[in-house]
Amino acid sequence: MKVAVFSTKAYDRLFLSAANSPIQHELVFFEPRLNRDTAILAAEFPAVCVFVHDQVDAPTLEILASGGTRLVVLRCAGFNNVDLQAAADLGITVVRVPAYSPYGVAEHAVGLILSLNRKIHRAYNRVRESNFSLDGLLGFNLHERTVGIVGTGKIGLILGQIMKGFGCHLLAYDVYRNPELEALGGKYVELPELFANSDIISLHCPLTPETHHLINTEAIKQIKPGVMLINTSRGALIDTQAVIEGLKSGKIGYLGVDVYEQESELFFEDLSGEIIQDDIFQRLTTFPNVLITGHQAFFTAEALYNIAETTFANITDVEQGHFCANEIRA
């Protein structure tokens, strides 16, 4: 199948080309993101392959459909950037990669926890300047601390397994209980109880209308003072302005995020020579107890291999008329 691949970096081309070698789909790589302005590039392509920040809204889908596209292939798990109803109305099939190396994301969350707790990022810069003072670097033992996990699918479960290894107590919230987490000793509670009793809260749930701004002003009132808040899931789970107020008041003691609700204008690009116009994001970067990474939690060799492999399996299933378990519908 002829596939237009949008939002490609060098690493995308490397892993996708390698996985495609035995299959021989016809891939054409485009660096720009897919949106209503760039959709014309996909004219006469039966399929487009997109990533998290491509805009697959109704106008874009209409342009794609008019050019002959009948398949949208997401090389990511999230699909909140796709108008599924518009796709269905236009006869366009949408498939995704529901899971890719959940260990990578969970391990990155743990990396944020350890770095924030022991101020490793600050210590690194100090030592480079020959400053070996320990003032301001005091941390705490993870042993016997309580970790609240919001969302206990594959990633949340793995985080629970890792934190259990540190000797932590586990609280959990999810619409569906995971018996494997309960077997670890994890206790399912309602959100107010999780907020009030957790020393560390880590978010691992999808972005839905129900979870949008899950961490807001009201939630911050309920959390344990000095809590560490970690988000490696979706940026809009957090009301950033409310979290800034929580940081200023000291109610939030630490913040580690790999995602940001307005990240589409920032992440995956080198903006080091430009003036960032997002004042809220810039305010976040001024706090000494905030650690931000640029949506890299998924970025492991294993994850990129899994993404590429599943992406082409999805394309082949649809091309050959087979049932595709990774199809998503309105």
Tokens for 281? 């994001």
Residue 280 CA neighbour count, 13 Å, CB half? 14
Distances (CA, A) of 299 to 203, 230, 241, 244: 18, 17, 27, 27
Task: State the catalytic residue, choosing from 25, 108, 234, 261.
Answer: 234
169 assigned to active site: no
Task: State the catalytic residue, choosing from 33, 75, 108, 263.
Answer: 263
CA angle, corner 170, sides to 164 and 172, nearest 5? 135
295 assigned to active site: yes
Task: State the catalytic residue, choosing from 26, 295, 327, 329.
Answer: 295
Tokens for 179? 């018996």
Q: How far apart are CA 259 and CA 237, in angstroms?
A: 9
263 assigned to active site: yes
Give residue 290's identity as a one-letter amino acid code. V
Alpha helices in 67-119 (DSSP H): 84-89, 102-118
Burial 199-224 (b: 16+ CB within 10 A, else e): bbbbbbbebeeebebbbbeebbeebb
Q: How far apart are CA 278 and CA 92, in angstroms?
A: 35
Residues noted as catalytic: 234, 263, 295
